[in-house]
Structure 1
């Protein structure tokens, strides 16, 4: 990918055309490294995404919806103080570098004019978003604080003087002379803001074609997972605007990263609980294996009672004929006990182990259920979007895996997702275990077909309102079950199908746990593009 100076050059023009003279209405920080501005310009509302993410740093208009935190942090509160209701005067790029200045005009509490700049620096791990007072040159606040111990060249702290990043000494391809650019191309000298892959894509062009390509906007994505603001190869997917292209390109990449940020605590808790329960299961199974001696203790007690007259009182053991195996057996004796007491001691040990077998069997079943449940939560987390993380967290609170000390009100749960088969049939998909419970036992009616991947954690899928679905619809429902499971990337996934009313939920089992039999099994391979296209908005 190439969010280089050339890309920002053209993005600056795209933003300027839309946002100049616009009024900033809202400021939010949906994620740790990202800022979202809502700007009203020429009677149209626009959302502007500013990202200081080390990998996905960018500036763009966006059509995506974001869930904003209920409580604003210090950075957002400061931005709202200075920027809410302010006008965007100008948007400009610094030379051809990855620095963008949004010049803003506003007023202070007593009505005096203020000249503010929102500076976005897109420089990998050093990326930042800085609010500064242009009159004094002082930093008001920044999304990342950088002290002297972190960067001896400059500090980025409230109250410190803003120092620009080191300036590139290479020629600016948009302002340098034709001769300078030609010489740079001939000697393979770097050009300011032209990334390596951009340069490689234009390497075979003449100086005239090179300059024309730089100036011609072609929002494009290429098969090798690169994007560009200009044409750098023949095989590409074109878009109407740079912002539309970035929305498409980052739809999954940034979303998965955001899920990791938002779900970090939940993921860690689930992984820790899984490890704890897997270790517990291993120990329980070892203890159960040790109970195999129970039958031996019973036999020894029986033999001591049968041959009690042959059992000495003054020896630590006795060898008796074992009529169970037709072989002699040596039986250890407690010298402090009589022969009858020794027999009773073996019977007691037998009864104790017999009870342990029953107890351990129940405990092992419970531990396996817990592991199965946590694995299903882990699968749900892998397939969740940001909006669904709070539902999964609420589910873990309800099941006791996460403790919530202060709860003002019950979390409102998202409904199951809806997909539409080719014939119009609606199919429901549970994206977490509470939704799975709803799909399987509250929304399902007699005759509705229910789907789940065989022996693998995944979503519960239900065909609704169609008692006689076509083979195509059944196959698509199976593909949904495969896609929203740990078998997402596998071919010919086995999916169980049965009437939803044949499902059974054992008492005391966690959400989403079901048992069933007499199912049919189909084999499907999920197609991601088809599934995304058929999601009901």
Structure 2
């Protein structure tokens, strides 16, 4: 990828439509991303500023974001200074990866103020900074950088803003032909010019001066087959877009979404992983204890033998050897000298009964632990396939099942409906994206004759063909592909998927959401195709 100075130069030109616009809304949907809604030229535009170390960028976006209920301190301060203000000017600093939004607003007593919102897109050093221009003081920033982190400059409220270190490199867009010629001859484009990343350097090297200038200024919003993007043409193998912002929306649709899910779901993922580890460790311990109960039968035999040969049992010896008629071999039995022979026999019977009860108890406990592991593995699978809005549903599910404690709850989380997909023949297929949705799909939305699908012996979604008691083979295969795709086997070939009528499913009393039992199922083998599945999704 190549969000270098050249890319930001062209993006800055694309953002000029915001000049004169009024900032209406300010939100921070994710830790390192800011979204401003700007009303300009009779339209509302969403401006995305990202200080992410990998996905940092500035663009217009059409992506819808779910904003947190409680705004951050950074957002509260931005709203105080920027809500209702106007963007007077948007400029790039040279050809560096810094863009400044010059904003006019009014202070608390109505006097005009000049504010700058600066986005520095510099990898792990990326930041978004609110600056009072007259004094040069930092009002707030999305990342605080103290002296211990950076001795050259601090990014803290109240400190004086210092620009990133300057170099002797020059802006290629205002360079002389002589400088361009010398740089091309010596193959030193990145040393001579600002903001030329590796991808751009490779595309611009070896050209004539005129071709260099033409390629530099010719905007080609493009994504390449080797997973790169650029504002200039790199190779002949690319897909072209109408503008840079549209291209970035497409390019980051999955990449940024996965990262956002990790940000939003990090505490939930950690909780599930910890609970899984705890239950797996518990299962090992329980199975070890259960294996120790194998001695129960031996204790019973020893008690029986002591009773049978009571006259041969001494009162003054620590053990006795008796003929074991269960095995036809002699057996040595330890004795407690403080007990009579009858009491020793009773002691062995007592130990036998205790271990017998332990077998029953441990069997029940092991079954419960296995069910907990199965449930948590299904939640883990759901998290791996969830988008940002669905994380709240999974968190609510874990609250309801007691894995996450929440002291104060004003009202129950409103759940998203199951996802819908359309089969080739028009049949609607429902997919549960979490265990509460799985319950809904399987037991509330199913009707007589509806076919139910679930990947075999692997955590995954419940899938239901609705309203078509005689679906075609093509529809059955597609439903099976959905079940395989929304499971841990999504990247496998020939995945086994169980199929049966929903009415034949059973839910044991007291089991976790999404847990079902069944038999007499049929099994099909499918290979999910991600592109086909995404194309057949129906918006919620």
TM-score range, shorter chain: over 0.9
- State whether residues 171 and 181 of structure 1, in contact with CA within 8 Å, keep that contact through their aligned partners in structure 2: no
Q: CA deviation at 1:107?
A: 2.0
Q: CA deviation at 1:110?
A: 2.9
After TM superposition, list the pairs within 5 Å mapping 1:338-377 onto structure 2: 338-377=340-379
Q: Does 1:513 align with 2:512?
A: no
Q: CA deviation at 1:242?
A: 0.7
Structure 2: gaps spanning 5 or more residues: none
Q: CA deviation at 1:196?
A: 0.9
SS in 1 for 2:173: coil
After TM superposition, list the pairs within 5 Å mapping 1:154-165 onto structure 2: 154-165=153-164
Q: Does 1:15 align with 2:15?
A: yes
Q: Deviations over 1:285-342 (max 9, x none)?
A: 0000000111111111111112212222221111111111111111111122222221
Give the TM-score, by structure 1 length.
0.98
- State whether residues 220 and 232 of structure 2, in contact with CA within 8 Å, keep that contact through their aligned partners in structure 1: yes
Q: CA deviation at 1:126?
A: 1.0
Q: How many residues align?
A: 536
Q: Distance in 2 between matches of 1:205 and 1:296?
A: 89
SS in 2 for 1:185: helix
Q: Deviations over 1:160-214 (max 9, x none)?
A: 2211111232232111111101211221212210101221133343322222111
Q: Distance in 1 between matches of 2:296 and 2:185?
A: 87
Q: Specify the alignment match of 1:473 in structure 2.
A: 475
- State whether residues 138 and 161 of structure 2, in contact with CA within 8 Å, keep that contact through their aligned partners in structure 1: yes
- State whether residues 276 and 377 of structure 2, in contact with CA within 8 Å, keep that contact through their aligned partners in structure 1: yes
Q: Deviations over 1:475-520 (max 9, x none)?
A: 1111111111111111111111110111111011011111111111
- State whether residues 429 and 460 of structure 1, in contact with CA within 8 Å, keep that contact through their aligned partners in structure 2: yes
Q: Distance in 2 between matches of 1:15 and 1:425?
A: 44
Q: Deviations over 1:93-124 (max 9, x none)?
A: 11110000111122223332222111100011
Q: Specify the alignment match of 1:3 in structure 2.
A: 3
Match of 1:323 among 322, 325, 329: 325
Q: Mean Cα displacement is larger for which, 181-190 or 225-234?
A: 181-190
Match of 1:424 among 423, 426, 429: 426
RMSD: 1.1
- State whether residues 425 and 466 of structure 1, in contact with CA within 8 Å, keep that contact through their aligned partners in structure 2: yes
Q: CA deviation at 1:388?
A: 0.8
Q: Distance in 1 between matches of 2:209 and 2:292?
A: 81
Q: Distance in 2 between matches of 1:407 and 1:340?
A: 62
Q: Mean Cα displacement is larger for which, 115-124 or 139-148?
A: 139-148
Structure 1: gaps spanning 5 or more residues: none
Q: Specify the alignment match of 2:37 in structure 1.
A: 38
SS in 1 for 2:537: coil
SS in 2 for 1:174: helix
Q: Does 1:151 align with 2:150?
A: yes
SS in 1 for 2:65: coil
- State whether residues 138 and 160 of structure 1, in contact with CA within 8 Å, keep that contact through their aligned partners in structure 2: yes
Q: Specify the alignment match of 1:399 in structure 2.
A: 401
Q: Distance in 2 between matches of 1:422 and 1:135?
A: 63
Q: Distance in 1 between matches of 2:340 and 2:106?
A: 100
Q: Does 1:172 align with 2:160?
A: no
Q: CA deviation at 1:415?
A: 0.8
- State whether residues 187 and 205 of structure 2, in contact with CA within 8 Å, keep that contact through their aligned partners in structure 1: no
Q: Distance in 2 between matches of 1:136 and 1:335?
A: 93
After TM superposition, list the pairs within 5 Å mapping 1:177-196 onto structure 2: 177-189=176-188, 190=190, 191-196=193-198
- State whether residues 184 and 207 of structure 2, in contact with CA within 8 Å, keep that contact through their aligned partners in structure 1: no
Q: Specify the alignment match of 2:234 in structure 1.
A: 232
Give the TM-score, by structure 2 length.
0.98
SS in 1 for 2:390: helix
Q: Specify the alignment match of 1:25 in structure 2.
A: 24
Q: Does 1:526 align with 2:528?
A: yes
After TM superposition, list the pairs within 5 Å mapping 1:106-505 onto structure 2: 106-189=105-188, 190=190, 191-505=193-507
SS in 1 for 2:59: strand
Q: Does 1:65 align with 2:90?
A: no
Q: Mean Cα displacement is larger for which, 335-344 or 294-303?
A: 335-344
Q: Mean Cα displacement is larger for which, 144-153 or 96-105?
A: 144-153
SS in 1 for 2:149: coil
Q: Distance in 2 between matches of 1:211 and 1:418?
A: 50
- State whether residues 140 and 157 of structure 2, in contact with CA within 8 Å, keep that contact through their aligned partners in structure 1: yes
- State whether residues 51 and 126 of structure 2, in contact with CA within 8 Å, keep that contact through their aligned partners in structure 1: yes
Q: Deviations over 1:26-72 (max 9, x none)?
A: 00011110100001112111111000011110001111110111122
Q: Distance in 1 between matches of 2:181 and 2:493?
A: 52
Q: Distance in 1 between matches of 2:256 and 2:36?
A: 18
